[in-house]
Amino acid sequence: MAKKKTIHDFYEMKKNGEKITFLTSYDFPTAQFAEAAGLDMLLVGDSLGMCVYGYSGTVPVVMDQMIFHANAVRRGAPNTFVIGDMPFMSYQSSLEKAVENAGRFLKEAECDAIKLEGGVRIVPQIKAIVEAGIVVMGHIGLTPQSSGQLGGHKAQGRTAETAKLVVEDALAVQSAGAQMILLEAIPPEIGAYIAKKSTIPALSIGAGPGCDGQLLIVSDLIGQFQAFTPKFVKKYCNVAETVTNAMRAYCADVRHGAFPAEEHCYRMLEGEERKFKDLMKTEG
Ligand code: KIV
């Protein structure tokens, strides 16, 4: 079994140009698969609101849900670096709340780090959480929790002026003490520029190949999430089709009496069926 990586390993990987593999995970079995597949990091993302709970966005997700899922992921992937994602309103309203909720991921789910959305405007929160001794991953570019302000789930930094703002966010997050940064849905030129300019690992989800590593949402990668498919997604299998076909085959077997078959039945012990029939006769 590979040794669990630490933040220092990720710095080393950035220095050596070795790409970091990063995937979301929300439950025990998927975390087991991810660890077996050799993922470097797992994000218990608030995208579970859409991928697991069927909400239309991430805003309704609350801290307790995140802790339950982070716990399951930790149990499934005990030797993988796990990051807990701070849900909407778990860090915006006060620094105390931000530190307390970040701490819950470590104390109650044994996460290795936390992630929170926002650049310049959440510098005080990042500083306070780092000050408490917690490894922080910043998240800039398209930030789904504030997609209302962004006018929807839209790529960011596509003009020179807005790209400059994204770079300013990245540098502010780094200066505040974040030890990693996630760049979502920005042009590859800007992703590569930030990765080169920053001293901390810059991970991409739709920020191009020039970043220090790549993140995908597991439900997209396995073809499970069906509501929409962002441009940055590559599907590696089609679980929705495979599972639906398996369920159809099960229904057909039950309807036609092909399931359960002899091998699925618990037979009575030798001679017990005759005794049972006698017993039932005497009972009347
Ligand atoms: O919750 C999540 O999975 C995320 C990704 C969209 C980056 O934050």
- Digitized pLDDT (tens) for each residue of the chain, 284 residues in all: 778 999 999 999 999 999 999 999 999 999 999 999 999 999 999 999 999 999 999 999 999 999 999 999 999 999 999 999 999 999 999 999 999 999 999 999 999 999 999 999 999 999 999 999 999 999 999 999 999 899 888 999 999 999 999 999 999 999 999 999 999 999 999 999 999 999 999 999 999 999 999 999 999 999 999 988 999 999 999 999 999 999 999 999 999 999 999 999 999 999 999 999 999 998 76
Instruction: Report the nearest atom of ligand 1 relative to the CA of 144.
Output: 6
The pLDDT assigned to 169 comes to 98
pTM, full prediction: 0.95
User: For residue 46, how far is its CA from the centre of ligand 1 (angstroms)?
Assistant: 6
Instruction: Report the nearest atom of ligand 1 relative to the CA of 215.
Output: 7
Ligand 1, atom 3, lies closest to the CA of 45
The pLDDT assigned to 283 comes to 72
The pLDDT assigned to 127 comes to 98
CB 62 within 8 A of CB 97: no
Q: Which two tokens stand for residue 142?
A: 């398209």
Task: Judge if the beta carbon of residue 46 lies within 6 A of ligand 1.
Answer: yes
Task: Judge if the beta carbon of residue 49 lies within 6 A of ligand 1.
Answer: no
User: For residue 43, how far is its CA from the centre of ligand 1 (angstroms)?
Assistant: 8
Ligand 1, atom 4, lies closest to the CA of 45
- Residues assigned a catalytic role: 184
User: For residue 139, how far is its CA from the centre of ligand 1 (angstroms)?
Assistant: 9
The pLDDT assigned to 2 comes to 79
Task: Judge if the beta carbon of residue 43 lies within 6 A of ligand 1.
Answer: yes
User: For residue 275, how far is its CA from the centre of ligand 1 (angstroms)?
Assistant: 62
Task: Judge if the beta carbon of residue 45 lies within 6 A of ligand 1.
Answer: yes
Instruction: Report the nearest atom of ligand 1 relative to the CA of 117.
Output: 8
Task: Judge if the beta carbon of residue 217 lies within 6 A of ligand 1.
Answer: yes
Q: Which two tokens stand for residue 72?
A: 């399951």
User: For residue 116, how far is its CA from the centre of ligand 1 (angstroms)?
Assistant: 10
